[in-house]
Amino acid sequence: MKKLALHWQILLGMVLGVVVALVLNNFSWGSQMIGDWIKPFGTIFINALKLIAVPLILASLIKGVSDLKDISSLSKMGLRTISTYVITTVIAVSIGLMVVNVIKPGNSISEGTRNELVESYGGEAQKRQEEAHQQKEAGPLQALVDIVPDNIIGASSNNRNMLQVIFFAIFFGIGLILIPESSSKPVKDFFDGFNEVILKMIDLIMLAAPYGVFALLAALVVEAPSADLFAALGMYALSVLIGLLLMIGVYLLLVWVFTKKTPSFFLNGMAPAQLLAFSTSSSAATLPVTMERVEEHLGVKKEVTSFVLPIGATINMDGTSLYQAVAAVFIAQAFGMDLSFGTQLGIIATATLASIGSAAVPGAGMVMLVIVLAQAGIPEAGLALIFAVDRPLDMCRTVVNVTGDAAVSMMVAKAQGKLGEPHVRDWDDNYPHK
């Protein structure tokens, strides 16, 4: 019998978790059994995600920055590429925050269910609210001061200091670029290998995802069995999808304005890569197809695609960043937390920077969400609320990630004078046709 794909296993785990909890809830001992023998496995799964967050940031970011080779050789194309990626990521996060603040999916949870959630997680939300209040009373430049660590080991010991870890990783990567290649190569080789190990660890953790989701959902149903919680989850998923569709609309507008190419031209050229991205949930796995479609069907020259698209697969995660913004505010709403404007600006900064180090593999977005939640002072335990629908949303946001890479490559190519007509090759590569 063919093995079920991981996303189907996760969905099956979700359904079984809900069903088992509903069945056991009919017995007097059921709730206690879930709390003692099932919920701990969900906690272990969440801890594993939190465990990998700092190593993932260090490995991916240092590798991504150092792979830029030579700062001077980047010239106009490099600066234009990176700045455009950063701008589109900021737009994506801002769209996510706008949608979730308008729809407010977490506010549909009743006060009783919200109180049960807060009580279930040991008052962690209240603790975070007090810490956020203390941050408001700090000086106007305190947030800037907090980005620069005085001890990287100390910063790495707490996921709430993730901006400090990101700062160190970028600083370290720039240092690698600036020293002679003979000196940097051993260090880069180490971090290349380190990055591969971390990605494999993510694969192993995600193998346990169906069981983790089963345990998390079973505990969630027992602790907060109200139907309005699941209705809110549906509104959350709808909010993410609306945000992703809006972001694709932004790409189409940018392509039309900067390259004068029609939306239909762009979508027809990218459709196979988008479908592959949807099925694999991996920008990295889709990269070869993305490069072929952008080069042959969108008319971008090879010297642009070979530079812009691999960098995009590493640092441009607009769909992931948008989802993180929606998820963070939704979880805060579910716990009755009122996020200030300053805190939401912090979410924009953290999600944008975290996306640079987000691995282009399935499940990495959830790890990055841990970083965003911790930095904003939102209970990480709220991951249990959204993990059930994360996999199908991961498939959708990967489509946006790949679409963004292609859109930026067209914009950069147009600015560099390297955007021509499509040049589709026949099987024997001898008779090109348009």
Token reading at 204: 């192993």
How far, in Å, are 258, 271, 422 from residue 290 at the CA level? 20, 10, 14
- pLDDT on residue 434: 38
Q: Which residue has the tokens 């989701």?
A: 213
Domain boundary assignment for the chain:
7-416
- pLDDT on residue 347: 79
C-alpha–C-alpha distance, residues 308 and 126, integer Å = 44
Report the interhelical angle of 364-376 vs 39-66 (nearest 10°). Answer: 100
C-alpha–C-alpha distance, residues 192 and 173, integer Å = 12
**Tens of pLDDT, residue by residue, the chain (434 residues):** 456 766 577 778 878 888 898 898 888 888 889 888 988 888 887 778 777 767 876 776 677 667 666 555 455 677 788 888 889 988 998 999 899 989 988 877 777 766 666 665 544 444 544 554 554 455 556 656 777 888 888 888 776 666 677 778 878 888 888 888 888 889 988 988 887 888 788 778 778 878 887 887 787 777 655 666 777 888 888 999 999 999 999 999 999 999 889 999 999 888 888 887 786 666 766 777 788 888 888 888 877 787 788 777 767 788 888 888 888 888 888 877 777 777 777 777 777 776 665 555 555 666 667 777 777 777 766 776 776 677 678 878 888 999 999 999 999 888 888 777 776 554 344 434 43
240 burial via Cβ count (<10 Å: 0-12, 13-18, 19+): buried
- pLDDT on residue 132: 46
- pLDDT on residue 125: 45
C-alpha–C-alpha distance, residues 406 and 297, integer Å = 11
C-alpha–C-alpha distance, residues 411 and 254, integer Å = 8
- pLDDT on residue 397: 86
CATH number for the domain formed by residue range(s) 7-416: 1.10.3860
End-to-end CA distance of the chain: 44
- pLDDT on residue 432: 43
Token reading at 331: 């979880």
- pLDDT on residue 408: 92
pTM over 0.75: no
Strand partners, 300: 419
